[in-house]
Amino acid sequence: MHISGKIMIPLGLVILILGVAMMVLGVGKGVGDLSGLEDYGFSVENATSGTIEIEDNDGEGDVGVTFWVEGEYVDEDENGIWDVCDDTNITITQHPAVNTDWSEEYDGGFYYEVIDFHDGCVADEGNQNHDLRERGYVKIGRACLACYSGTLEFESNATVSVTYDDPFLELLVGGFGALILGTIGGSACCGCGGFIAIIGLILGLTMKTPPPATAMHPATGMMEQPAVQQQPAHDFRQGEPPL
């Protein structure tokens, strides 16, 4: 087999094995992280007051916390606001300093929000959050947007539950990132490794190995022509026959 095949085939197989390992590990981690989202618990559950420690690991300010109540999105009094929001008043009694670069006008306080970038608790069919519907909870608002590390305290006139959003988002982003890296990155490595191995096999079988070069030895001397003896000339005038 040609030397190119002996090099490319093992190289391709190594890349192929790395790709398979990347797929197995990446998909396994991604599925595990995303499965953990279903069991993500409340930092405060069914209470009228509570305390949450904000960590802010990157020092840029955290996304904050989300408030949930048991119920449904209905507007029985037809005032244009979901009743779960009308019936719940939340006050933030203490919160850490906030990153004013993106805290907007909330300054760490509570604000009504059902769907991101939607207008508060407006009773609209498109303005509903069913992330925790199976557990019987609906979202009514958020607090501590852009908070740095510190203690958040709140009080409420009704029973609420609170999720700390940043760890949840880290699981979500990490899970999807691992899935993408495992599937796309692993598949790319497998394809690249298999391609290199096949090309190496083709080259190894089709290209001929050049024969070893023949050693040339320098001449040891000039070849000498054998000496030719000259016959003596005969004098025919003396009547001697030629030899």
Dump pLDDT digits (tens) for 208-220. Answer: 656 665 555 555 5
Average pLDDT over every residue of 65-72: 95
pLDDT over threshold 90, residue 66: yes
In this prediction, residue 37 carries a pLDDT of: 45
What average pLDDT is seen over the chain? 77
The whole-angstrom separation of Cα 58 and Cα 222 is: 88
The pTM of this model reads 0.61
Angle formed by the axes of helices 3-36 and 186-206, to 10°? Answer: 170
Which of 85-89, 100-104, 170-174, 203-207 has the highest average model confidence (pLDDT)? Answer: 85-89
Beta-carbon count within 10 A of 143 CB: 23
